[in-house]
A and B are shown apart, each in its own frame.
Chain A
């Protein structure tokens, strides 16, 4: 972990909201205020929220595309290698590289590799599995998987000043603001 524990006692400050609209407005305001190191937590995907907390580029589709291409190539050339190079059998002079009959396995391998890239790529980009995360130190945070919406501004943010930020979060009309210990 890059952040030093001595300097910042807190991981950040967390505000709890009752619904997604309030959270969305709060996140946009925090974004306008200039906070960059923050994240919002919701029980289900809320559209527009990733942009509001400053998320820019999703690299997952590219990873899946690369996975799919690699899978297709692997599938085809495995069959090519086996049938043409490693163990060629001449059956009545028919072509060794009988590519139409290789298509099914090429297709299946494309899907298989792409699916693996989608799932493992998503987990890797999300830094999951992650056994410990400071946000779980807030007891109320258990409701983030039920019916509450949270915004956490992290102390590594350049703009973060404990009291100022607390005041700012309070100004967003949250249900409450909590300290998140690291």
Chain B
């Protein structure tokens, strides 16, 4: 038993016996295989229905206005902001895996970076919807962008909300570029392997005529490395700016310097939970256990555990600051969180985000795929609850007791939220069907056992 667990500790990044050819064939067959698997139709069907719920909810919102949601004074920020922050947070793991782990030469990122990046893109797409529809008059959303106009007006560049527009749109753009650049050589592989003319043309166009020239590869790697270097501070900045939306406001529970680091850690935490949530079923149904091994799952679990502890530290600092500042409003806010009408949400959050993930200390849990999946689901829920607690409990009982009120999501709030999950999953299923979900050319560098080590040139 002891030796067995030791062997599991050293589980390889790619199972032995794979060659360049077998890696190409295995991964490209997921896309080029003519027969779409049954589970894909089931999964896509359910997601697509949920996505239509989103469209319906947005259509009704445009027709009736924000009144169909639960937001009102004093809680003017409801589900839309909670969902924005939740989705943006989920997106962070993709960039972390593709950029930061690349710079840190963590070879294990190779087999999960592609779909983690896809996850980032789709999560940011889902996130982007919320602030746009939350503006009340979404057809005027272009006012958020600075452009010369007849009113001679500009956005208020001193406002964190405008910073957010820039941060999130830059993040979405750079993530898309990063993802596409990573895909170009794989599109070339698909172009060369497909037998149907239509697919050949489409993948040919997408591959831009990539031919694997040594000189091209050289510039390609430089570009990829530079993008990783650029994406690293960017990803840190995005959730920092999102946290500024709160921290710059003089509201008890928001106005805290701990917010940026604690939001970034929370984002990575939520993101890795979502990567595990997606990777575990994916490797099972597509038989990718050779490429996404136990070592990947365990490494992600460890990152989750570490960032989870930072998040737990964030919670305790919030409580400590409330006491230490001796501010009446801060003290009341934290008491109201823990014992007020939303105490069930708060304590569920603590169970999901702080208590349950501690099971990851046990190596048996780390080695159990089902266990990891369940914990990841807890974290997904917990991170949503965290944003709920931050947004709602700080607002619903603010400085003036006369304006205190309760908040809860309406049917349309939930429909928009669940619908956004549908949008995310729909995009994910389409991605799995038409784009290689694991980077083929990077897996080949694992086959020769060299990985991303760039020093050993000679």
Q: Given A47-B457, A78-B146, A147-B20, A133–B177 Cβ distance below 8 Å? A: no
Bound form: Cα–Cα A44–B447 in Å: 11
> Which 10 A-B pairs rank lowest in CB-CB distance, beginning with the nearest?
A147-B20, A122-B223, A129-B208, A82-B154, A130-B209, A50-B218, A45-B217, A142-B192, A49-B214, A40-B214
Say yes or no: A45 contacts B220, CB within 8 Å. Answer: yes
Can you list 16 contacts pairing A with B, beta carbon distance less than 8 Å? A27-B214, A39-B215, A41-B214, A43-B212, A52-B214, A58-B219, A82-B154, A87-B152, A104-B244, A114-B226, A115-B174, A115-B227, A121-B223, A128-B208, A130-B209, A143-B192
Would you call B441 an interface residue if the criterion is a C-beta within 8 Å of the partner chain's C-beta atoms? yes
Contact of A145 among B146, B192, B233 (CB under 8 A): B192
Within 8 A of B (CB), among A101-130: 101-102, 104-105, 107-109, 111-112, 114-116, 118-119, 121-123, 125-126, 128-130
Say yes or no: A50 contacts B223, CB within 8 Å. Answer: no
A27 to chain B, nearest CB (A): 8
B199 to chain A, nearest CB (A): 14
Q: Residues on A close to B: CB < 8 A?
A: 20, 27, 39-50, 52-53, 55, 58, 60-61, 64, 68, 78-79, 82-83, 86-87, 98, 101-102, 104-105, 107-109, 111-112, 114-116, 118-119, 121-123, 125-126, 128-133, 135-136, 141-147
Would you call B237 an interface residue if the criterion is a C-beta within 8 Å of the partner chain's C-beta atoms? yes
Say yes or no: A126 contacts B181, CB within 8 Å. Answer: no
Say yes or no: A118 contacts B234, CB within 8 Å. Answer: no
Total residue contacts A-B, CB cutoff 8 A: 184
Bound form: Cα–Cα A142–B218 in Å: 21
Known interface pairs A119-B177, A128-B216; 16 further A-B residue pairs with C-beta atoms within 8 A, sorted by A's residue number: A42-B217, A45-B221, A48-B458, A50-B215, A50-B218, A87-B153, A87-B154, A105-B163, A105-B166, A111-B237, A122-B219, A122-B223, A126-B215, A129-B209, A144-B211, A145-B185
Say yes or no: A86 contacts B208, CB within 8 Å. Answer: no
What residue of chain B has the Cβ atom nearest to residue A80's Cβ?
Answer: B157
Q: Given A115-B173, A130-B208, A108–B189 Cβ distance below 8 Å? A: no
By the criterion of a CB under 8 Å from any partner CB, how many residues of chain B are at the interface?
Answer: 62
- Measured between beta carbons, the chain A residues less than 8 angstroms from B210 are 128, 145
Within 8 A of A (CB), among B342-371: none
- Measured between beta carbons, the chain A residues less than 8 angstroms from B233 are 107, 111
Say yes or no: A55 contacts B218, CB within 8 Å. Answer: yes
Bound form: Cα–Cα A60–B180 in Å: 18
A136 to chain B, nearest CB (A): 7
Say yes or no: A61 contacts B222, CB within 8 Å. Answer: yes
What residue of chain A has the Cβ atom nearest to residue B237's Cβ?
Answer: A107
- Measured between beta carbons, the chain A residues less than 8 angstroms from B185 are 44, 145
Q: Residues on B close to A: CB < 8 A?
A: 19-21, 24, 146, 152-154, 157-158, 162-163, 166-167, 170, 173-174, 177-178, 180-181, 185, 188-189, 191-193, 205, 208-223, 226-227, 230-231, 233-234, 237, 241, 244, 441-442, 444-445, 448, 454, 456-458
Contact of A108 among B166, B218, B456, B458 (CB under 8 A): B166
Say yes or no: B21 contacts A147, CB within 8 Å. Answer: yes
Residue of B157, B233, B448 with highest tally of chain A CB at under 10 A: B157
Say yes or no: B211 contacts A116, CB within 8 Å. Answer: no
- Measured between beta carbons, the chain B residues less than 8 angstroms from A144 are 192, 211-212
Say yes or no: A104 contacts B217, CB within 8 Å. Answer: no
Say yes or no: A64 contacts B213, CB within 8 Å. Answer: no
Bound form: Cα–Cα A30–B218 in Å: 19
A99 to chain B, nearest CB (A): 11
Bound form: Cα–Cα A41–B215 in Å: 9
- Measured between beta carbons, the chain B residues less than 8 angstroms from A20 are 448
